[in-house]
Structure 1
Amino acid sequence: MLKSLYVEGRTPLHAMSVRTKLVMLMAASIVLFFVTSPLALLPVFILCAATYFTLGLPLREAFGRVGWVLFAILILALATLYFDGARQAAAMALRIGAVVFLASAITATTAISAFMDEITILLQPFERAGILRAADVGLALALVIRFVPEILDRYANIREAHRARGLPMRPLTLFAPLIIQTLKDADTIAMAIDARGFRRQ
């Protein structure tokens, strides 16, 4: 099993409160949405990327955490280039890339328990209004963050098993067992949560 997404360190981002990080991420996402100039977005992208890559992660692991997202951004950029031109494609790639690096940096510098506690506190007004249960949402988000490394590790194991058997690397043969194993784990975790009465507290 892979270790947690959290990375020990003493960077300024580690020292920030969870609420400050979440507000910063939300504000950056909103502001960058209205910025259309690639020249203005480029320094923001570089700053967010530098923040992420200086957290102390090995370079391979750092790229591994965001590799699939960056690949998806590349595909979107190529599609935007075809339909809307180079300027729009560059702006879109830099904008989304900056948010991805910032979000990854925040995830890597915040313990899951801190995330869970802060989300629960922030959702208390919705719970008082009867819309949702804050503790359940906090637990769900914590579980998602916690099991991302394990899902990536399981995917790597399935891929290596295919290579060892000389099987072709096809999306269906890779993702089908991954999805089945993940759903089985989800059922097991749900039963464990119910058995401990977390969702009844």
Structure 2
Amino acid sequence: MVAGLLLAGGAGRRMGTPKALVRLHGEPLAVRAVKALQAGGCGPVTVVLGARADDVTDVLRAAGLGTAGSDVGVVVAEDWDEGMGASLRRGLGSLTHLPGTGAALVHLVDLPGVGPEAIRRVADGAGHSSLRRAAYDGVPGHPVLLGRDHWSGVAGSSTGDAGARSYLAGHPALELVECGDVAVPDDVDTPAQLRRLAGA
């Protein structure tokens, strides 16, 4: 089983609001990303929140996600302002009690151009020892697949905004999975970028 892990804790300072709350074609990016993980075959899905966590939780629940009985859980990284590494550590820690989970597919909330096709391709057939990263024309990007055997190593090396970068760099087990034909890896950091994406 591959669990979905959505990192959605940032304040979105350049955007002016947490990107989890930003709407694209009327749908909050957090909701869009959770649906992409689910459609890509990941479950359960855990959303790691930080800035304005209560507001993002309300948005998820309004969409029927993160409610009792759903396959979507919410955890809060209290130290979210330290960077993505804090959210990744919190998210992986929340998955350790799920014995049937062999891997975690880590996705970022500000990548609306990365949908179920890329997620499914990276997650397909993953197991405890898997270590994969989506690539776009050969350039490493997201999502990232972390087999359970790698969780403690990733958590121990995740600091600041680097996330799993230092662990992945040069790791002999890392497999790049080309996704340039099914996804657009551009992140959405500013209102101008959001407008361009909406127009496209």
Q: Shorter-chain-normalised TM-score: which range? A: under 0.3
- The TM-score, its normalising length taken from structure 2, stands at 0.26
- The TM-score, its normalising length taken from structure 1, stands at 0.26
Q: Which has the higher helix share?
A: 1
